């Protein structure tokens, strides 16, 4: 009888340890994912901020000048906030930000054209 209880307790202990291991692994993965998502959102915010600022400050400049100035400002903002970024990631985030800004501008422009036609 005592041997049966010992065997059951050993089995339950092994199952409990395995469950704790699996749960710990899932929690760590979730927390890592959460941190990465927050970091990406912060990067997007800073890139959007820089792209919009550069567009307003250097609106009469060519695209290459704006791109160079935007990269300088973004890298400065990232350094100030302790973030790192690769050149590929930087280019992709700038392109996404410019596209979003242009899409927003064009949708507003279409609305204005429709208002003028209605008058």
pLDDT digits (tens, 9 = 90+) for 31-81: 777 777 788 889 999 999 999 999 999 988 898 999 999 999 999 999 999
The pLDDT assigned to 116 comes to 52
DSSP letter, residue 89: H
Min mean pLDDT across 42-46, 53-57, 95-99, 106-110 is at: 106-110
DSSP notation for 54-88? HHHHTTTS-HHHHHHHHHHHHHHHHHHTT----HH
Q: Where does the pLDDT of residue 102 fall: very low under 50, low under 70, confident under 90, or very high at 90 and above?
A: confident
Cβ-contact 55, 101 below 8 angstroms: yes
Q: Where does the pLDDT of residue 109 fall: very low under 50, low under 70, confident under 90, or very high at 90 and above?
A: low
pLDDT for 89 beyond 90: yes
């Amino acid at each position: 009888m005592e041997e049966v209880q010992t065997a059951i307790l050993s089995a339950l202990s092994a199952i409990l340890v395995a469950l704790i291991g699996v749960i710990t692994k899932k929690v760590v993965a979730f927390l890592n994912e959460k941190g990465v998502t927050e970091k990406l959102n912060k990067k997007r915010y800073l890139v959007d901020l820089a792209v919009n600022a550069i567009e307003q400050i250097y609106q009469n400049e060519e695209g290459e000048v704006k791109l160079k100035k935007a990269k300088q400002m973004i890298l400065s903002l990232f350094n100030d906030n302790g973030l790192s970024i690769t050149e590929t990631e930087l280019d992709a985030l700038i392109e996404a930000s410019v596209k979003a800004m242009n899409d927003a501008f064009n949708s507003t422009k279409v609305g204005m054209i429709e208002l003028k036609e209605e008058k």
